[in-house]
Structure 1
Amino acid sequence: MGLVKRNNIWWMSFTYEGRQVRRSTETSDKKLAEAILSKIRVQIVEGKYFEKPKEDPYTFSQLMDRYLKEHASRRAHYRRYVNMVTNVKAFFGNPKLSQITPKTIVAFKAKRYADGVMPATINRELAMLKKAFNLACREWEWAKDNPVCRVSMEKEQNSRDRWLTEQEEARLLMAAPAWIREVVTFAINTGMRRGEILALTWAGVDFTRRTVTVFKSKNGERRTIPVNQTVLELLSHKYEQGRGQRGIETRVVFCSKASTELDGSNLRRGFTAALKAAQIEDLHFHDLRHTFATRLVQAGVDLYKVQRLLGHKSPSMTQRYAHHYPESLRDGVEILDRGKTFSTNLAQRPFAPTVAM
């Protein structure tokens, strides 16, 4: 039982009848807030406390619309949030917020599974719902309970380990149109995500330092990536071509013939068509990022460098690639031999452990 200050207002947090209750004291005066909290304590002890019912004027659509406007609009991949909101609206409709219960959320999960949606996608939609209800409870005072907190997340299958072989890469680049070929080559040699590639601007390209900069990554952070000669030549060619044809009218590096930003769905369709023409199966665009990481590890690059290049927040996310180069572990045991000398006789003598009597 205590006080927490939010937006200059003191809030009470306490347990009532086995349920966590958060109530605003509606004051910025700490002493007054403490007095109100003490009164509530006495009422609970005496059994005289009854939580005041709140009006429920807000609807689910209002919640989702405000979430998009005030929260998602400031995040990377805004379109992804829009798609998720569209999906949940299509299922829940526009009831009062109090009508969204754990039971209805479980039904939503079942419907998404019936639609063939993967667990990872369902989890992202649940996380979005949870955040929206948290805002409604803690900041907007639209609701007093978050029903998503009482629904379990789904177990994700993260064991996919598909990457492009050199033979498949050659076939893909030969079958793909020029614009797809450029994006694929760039992805394989930088490990950048699809959204990061499509959002890359010429302001983020530094030919002198041989780097590209992602100003807002998936984690919302800035990341600078060194590029190899293949990518440098690709970017130089695109820059010269663009300057000669349209004076670099577009900010983005990879654009359409009309100098407009490429849409993720257009890239997906073009990439899928190229895979079909090259007779390559079971490959996603994100697997190009796996290809980048796998080839680095197979070449002996240590996992810390791979982690930094991929922009992973945790080493555990990069550890999945460790099995591609087990020989890298040999250095760890051979270091024990340094500085040791072994006589020929000792080396040839059979090893017999000492048995304690």
Structure 2
Amino acid sequence: MGEAVDDFAEHLQLVVGRSAATVRGYRSDLRDLARTVPDFAGFTLDNLRAWLAEAVAEGKSRATLARRTAAVRAFSTWATRQGHLTADVAARLVTPKVNRRLPTVLGENQAGELVGNAASGSEAEFLRDSAILELLYATGMRVAELTGLDIADVDLARGTARVTGKGDRQRTVPFGAAATDALRTWLDEARPQMAGETDALFVGVRGGRIDPRQVRRIVDRAGQVTGTPDLSPHSLRHSAATHLLEGGADLRVVQELLGHSSLQTTQIYTHVSAQRLKEVYSRAHPRA
């Protein structure tokens, strides 16, 4: 089973084109399964259900259970095609429903205050961090997409960035004057003194490509300064999407901007906007 799991992970990465995070998650789940079900003779529906039940007993979240179910179902389909199984055993497993929470969204004034208040240790880092915050909020891109950007991916004259998203899908996203100014200042005044031999747009203190964890710390520190603690880059992504919709942007435009493969994923922001509209109505209408 262990060898088959590695072959399946390689198939996901090279043939299907799944993201590195998805491949890691599926491999981890299936290796855990292999400790309970070490060979294909034991790959039965009852044993799979027992493995999932054990996760429930350990207090695993619904999201973890859903991912485990998705992993074993995809593996079962692949194993059947490869001849390891005579039937797609896991096809009958039911994926648990995940309770989707409405994302935390900053107000427009909060977002504007946040991107202008990077808490940095030096002038060069302040210029870098300001450009990072501006670009995250301007484009709604994921933190891994931002850290993967090279200088050549950004066109300051046009105000666009070429982003590589999940499954290595590329898209072009626009950004406005504030992000353009912040990026130009970073590139002209600070990056030359911080960067080593790298094409990365954003670099860390050692001169190499900046790490996603460092970007999360940059956002968190700015949130603490502005009174919005425990903030994440995804909060800026949620805020950008919500503010676009509230400003009249079409849902499919927001889908393209965020790089969602399904419009259903983008539709959660319509619920966020409706909730915010209700809050404003309750405060403003005299008979609310």
Question: Aligning the two structures, in what range does the TM-score lie when normalised by the shorter sequence?
Answer: 0.7 to 0.9
- Partner SS for 1:312: coil
User: In the alignment, residue 137 of structure 2 is paired with which amino acid?
Assistant: I
User: Using CA pairs below 8 Å that are at least 6 residues apart, which structure has the higher relative contact order?
Assistant: 2
Aligned position for 2:73: 130
Matches within 5 A, 1:275-290: 275=223, 279-280=227-228, 283-290=231-238
1:318 pairs with 2:262 = no
1:62 aligns with 2:12: no
Instruction: Please say if residues 175 and 278 of structure 1, whose CA atoms lie closer than 8 Å, have aligned partners that are also in contact.
Output: no
What TM-score do you get using the length of structure 2 for normalisation? Answer: 0.76
Instruction: From 305, 308, 319, give the equivalent of 2:256.
Output: 308
Deviation by residue 1:270-329 (Cα, 9 ceiling, x = unmatched):
545654565535644322211001111222223232233223334333333335279x9x
Offset at residue 158 of structure 1 (A):
2.3
SS at match of 2:267: helix
Q: Is the 8 A contact 2:160 2:173 kept in 1?
A: yes
Task: Check if 1:90 corresponds to 2:38.
Answer: no
Contact 1:102–1:147, Cα closer than 8 Å, also in 2 = yes
Q: 2-side partners of 1:318 and 1:265: how far apart?
A: 25
Aligned to 2:247: 299
Q: Which runs of 5+ in 1 are unaligned?
A: 1-58, 329-357
Does structure 2 conserve the Cα–Cα contact (< 8 Å) formed by 1:175 and 1:274? yes
Counterpart of 1:213? 162
- CA deviations on 1:244-265 (whole Å, 9 max, x unpaired) are 3266622322232223233334
Closer/same/farther in 2, CA of residues 202 and 171 from structure 1, 3 Å limit: closer
Q: How far 1:233 moved relative to its partner?
A: 1.8
Shift of 1:153: 0.4
Provide the rounded CA distance (Å) in 1 between the counterparts of 2:233 and 2:54.
26
Bigger CA radius of gyration: 1
For 1:198, which of 130, 144, 147 is the aligned residue? Answer: 147
Q: Which segments of 5 or more consecutive residues in structure 2 lack a partner in the other structure?
A: 121-125, 278-288
CA displacement at 1:141 relative to structure 2 = 2.1
Equivalent residues of 1:300, 1:325 under 8 A apart: no
Alignment of 1:1-357 (within 5 A): 59=1, 61-73=2-14, 75=17, 77-93=19-35, 95-113=38-56, 117-138=60-81, 140-166=82-108, 168-169=110-111, 170=113, 174=117, 176-177=119-120, 178=126, 181-215=130-164, 217-241=165-189, 244-245=192-193, 249-268=197-216, 271-272=219-220, 275=223, 279-280=227-228, 283-322=231-270, 324=273
Q: Distance in 2 between matches of 1:282 and 1:243?
A: 28
Determine helix, strand or coil for the equivalent of 2:207. coil
Pick the structure with more helix per residue. Answer: 2
Identity, % of aligned pairs?
26
The amino acid across from 1:292 in the alignment is: A
- Sort the Cα spacing of 1:124 and 1:180 in 2 relative to 1 into closer, same or farther, 3 A: farther
Q: Secondary structure at the match of 1:280?
A: coil
Q: CA deviation at 1:166?
A: 4.1
Listed one character per residue, the Cα deviations across residues 126-176 of structure 1 (whole Å, up to 9, x for unaligned) are 3233222322221x3222233321210011222413212245442586364
TM-score (norm 1): 0.63
Distance of 2:129 and 2:56 partners within structure 1: 32
